[in-house]
Structure 1
């Protein structure tokens, strides 16, 4: 078997260096070989003049022309990083190959011409990748284009100055394109740049985090877009007073954010399975390379590379790219339900952002430092992310990172939308995926607290109000949220962009949830208020959705526990939550053929103004914590490690003003 025909994961092991990289074995050679494999495979799907790369698969929601532009622009990112880091050395002839495509794509008379920015809004996204790479590879590509082609490129990009961009991460596409235009002497109004930068400044939140727009939108876009572009723009605009004044702020935010980000990678390299656009896969590594490129004081370069290489290796060893060297719509292998309506066969190649590290030379400290262990490999920890309302728990024994979510729903208080599985669940982890397809994608089951109406339909929580999140002196994490339980008949005509939908709504009672988190356990406290909306129905509490090779065994439901041979998902219900069981969902996540969700519930409608508790577990094994109520909203929790905490859950018992 030749190197070309062996599985990629196998051939990459030839480069392993466990002295330099004791945790992953990965070096710059692995990354370069992976990039080359993807770029060479992409050529098989290119048009005659290379302007369009049409990967196999059903067209995306925006049509084949957009899909082919994405295929070009997003692979061009990887090519640009590859050549920039080699100082122009280009044995694969990448720059000449893509230059031919640029000449054809910008030619309005060519049958391969690109969709223009004023023809389809997605072209505004792809234009930013083209502009960024033209900047990074200027001596080896832009400067060698003929004046006529340069003129056509400027004409293609120029509409960005006059167009409206959504007030989310997209504003950076306009800024990047505008900065490139200015650098080649093309007109770009300073007022447009100032307005875009001011809008982007408004995305900044506590702790170095960014929200993707005005809503509570916290996901991987914080790293692969909202930290990625500011630092690259400030390089492009070096010497500009606007960049000079902002760059220190960008660096400070990135350093603080990366402290949290390295705590969100599992020991097996899995990023958090949360938020939209997950099919971009190892684009999640871009944030760590951005930190290395910017020279942030911490985390150190060995830890940044450990996180980035762990993510890439995680996917490569699980089948991405596939045997043909293609990144399909999916997570590991092809799994179309992970895509949003805007995703097409070329979309996964935003994974190219994960190759930003290749734009750094082999002599850079991020490539020469010895790998440092991830936080989850060093010990157990609890971390509060106030901006996102996340309680983060990592455990060394199983290498799993868990997030209990009391602050993110891709919406705002009082919105009463359906719950997106990607944003509004009560928990996410590096070892589980929410149920993304099937009946429970729209009817919350996993990591949920719901009321069932008379027809057995569960309520939603999007639009909740955030209660305080924090950390006790013992290290236990606490936080909560409250919301009007509501039922929504969603508008099916609206596009699926990964977040909740509006529709005709019925309001139910207020529900308050308070969480105490330590290690692999969460004690989840629930109270349903009286006197608002429909009378309470059955209270149903769902646990972690465990990937498994087969459904749960059919048996009398005497416990709420599931196992896949490695991890267990378990709920131990307190008084009043005596009904319990495990629901098996087939094909509902990209991690395994089946997903097993343990749950507990009240056998009859929930009693108003009464506390219910459940201990929720994801890990290898362990005894549950003991809960003792010492007052109307006060309790004592004794954890398996012997730590005892006095908890005041009263904020979750208070009904918010109407």
Structure 2
């Protein structure tokens, strides 16, 4: 990867520096995309590069939250892989091209495939744990989701032995259960992936998660995370994206109806409108609820809705690009969220270990990559090609015309 160092330096130079009072100059879509690529690479490189070299366990720091209550070494490395992979998958699924970004993407995909192979090789020092503890149910689900998001460039590029090993690891999860909330979708999407590739699957685990989350739907784009509603970002961290990806794979195999899928997409689009409105004119957003150390994963549902070109009425792609770019500048232009070796640190925007939950460790933090899903759109898509546009809060606070907000019925 050393030969791409110069390209990364050029990416830095292509993105304008911060001006005074936390504002940035207006940028083009190409400059925004360059900064997104730089930021996603900065986040994901330590995980993928070390796993590809068999040094993830040797080099990844083991920071954990106060009163941490999991078996750290048994789960944190698997968390790092699954969460990183689900975020980079749409970008890696893009076809190869001769652009500098394309060359970087191809090289990084090659490393990712090596990392995936090492992760399930019992003879590799970085063989990851899927066989014990409940936590791997979560992170196997993110690996499965990544395979659904990048079937051609990730799953189908793995050699038959590695594919067989993932199938065996996923099936081994059936000996365990997890929490009675969004965790039901983790079991469901892993089984859905197995069914999607023609493997034996558990239909009860597949359907139960979908059915229960539909029972927990509260209306206007919000699901309850279990029987008690929690005001946090889990609708974006997990629920909407996994429901939509799972149902999409099931519709393709005629296991679910198009109506079920379209309803889930409409709900996610409505929820995405709340996320877009939550981004303040200066790019800040509320730090509330569980797991705020997942940082930009809070915008996974918005990024995925943009990726699918299903943004809600009144929200255009370029305003989402500009809003998220502003957020990413605040989070990732500096080094406050990284240690000296480039690993993410516990916190929201800086090293703030006091906000970490009892299940949070270094590996958990790589959920941050999920905010970058729109990089799966090609560079000539209107998301990137359209001129800059103000997002909703900018319009509201500057007295511009803005769309009226309204609820959805289903």
Q: Same fold per TM (> 0.5)?
A: yes
The answer to whether 1:353 aligns with 2:370 is yes
In the alignment, what sits opposite 1:55? 60
Residue-by-residue CA offset, 1:26-60 (whole Å, 9 max, x unaligned): 62121112122233344565474366585224356
Counterpart selection for 2:212 from 199, 211, 230: 199
In the alignment, what sits opposite 1:105? 119
Distance 1:90 1:51 in 2: 24
Distance 1:220 1:159 in 2: 29
Comparing 334-343 with 72-81, greater Cα deviation is found at 72-81
The answer to whether 1:167 aligns with 2:180 is yes
Counting only pairs closer than 5 Å after superposition, residues 266-281 of structure 1 correspond to structure 2 as: 266-281=280-295
Counting only pairs closer than 5 Å after superposition, residues 277-296 of structure 1 correspond to structure 2 as: 277-294=291-308, 295-296=310-311
Counting only pairs closer than 5 Å after superposition, residues 131-530 of structure 1 correspond to structure 2 as: 131-161=144-174, 163-239=176-252, 240-294=254-308, 295-298=310-313, 299-317=315-333, 319-322=335-338, 324-380=341-397
Coordinate RMSD, CA, aligned: 3.2
Highest CA radius of gyration, 1 or 2? Answer: 1
Structure 1 residue matching 2:16: 3-state secondary structure: helix
In the alignment, what sits opposite 2:142? 129
The answer to whether 1:73 aligns with 2:89 is no
Using a 3 Å threshold, how does the CA distance of structure 1 residues 318 and 371 change in structure 2: closer, same or farther?
Answer: same
Structure 1 residue matching 2:220: 3-state secondary structure: helix
Q: State the 4+ residue runs in structure 1 displaced beyond 6 angstroms.
A: 2-11, 14-17
In the alignment, what sits opposite 1:29? 34
Shift in Å at residue 87 of structure 1? 5.4
Structure 2 residue matching 1:205: 3-state secondary structure: strand
Contact 2:54–2:125 (8 Å) recurs in 1: no
Using a 3 Å threshold, how does the CA distance of structure 1 residues 48 and 219 change in structure 2: closer, same or farther?
Answer: same
Shift in Å at residue 338 of structure 1? 1.4
Contact 1:167–1:213 (8 Å) recurs in 2: yes
Paired residue total? 378
**Bigger strand fraction:** 1
Using a 3 Å threshold, how does the CA distance of structure 1 residues 329 and 11 change in structure 2: closer, same or farther?
Answer: farther
Contact 2:251–2:261 (8 Å) recurs in 1: no
Q: Where do 5+ consecutive residues of structure 2 fail to align?
A: 19-23, 400-410
Using a 3 Å threshold, how does the CA distance of structure 1 residues 243 and 105 change in structure 2: closer, same or farther?
Answer: farther
TM-score in terms of structure 1 length: 0.52
Distance 2:15 2:58 in 1: 26
TM-score in terms of structure 2 length: 0.81
Residue-by-residue CA offset, 1:485-509 (whole Å, 9 max, x unaligned): xxxxxxxxxxxxxxxxxxxxxxxxx
Shift in Å at residue 220 of structure 1? 1.1
Structure 2 residue matching 1:13: 3-state secondary structure: coil
Distance 1:180 1:347 in 2: 22
Shift in Å at residue 182 of structure 1? 1.0
Using a 3 Å threshold, how does the CA distance of structure 1 residues 74 and 258 change in structure 2: closer, same or farther?
Answer: closer
Distance 1:81 1:269 in 2: 24
Using a 3 Å threshold, how does the CA distance of structure 1 residues 103 and 19 change in structure 2: closer, same or farther?
Answer: closer
Contact 1:58–1:345 (8 Å) recurs in 2: yes
Distance 2:380 2:13 in 1: 26
Residue-by-residue CA offset, 1:196-243 (whole Å, 9 max, x unaligned): 210111231121112221112121112232222122223333332415
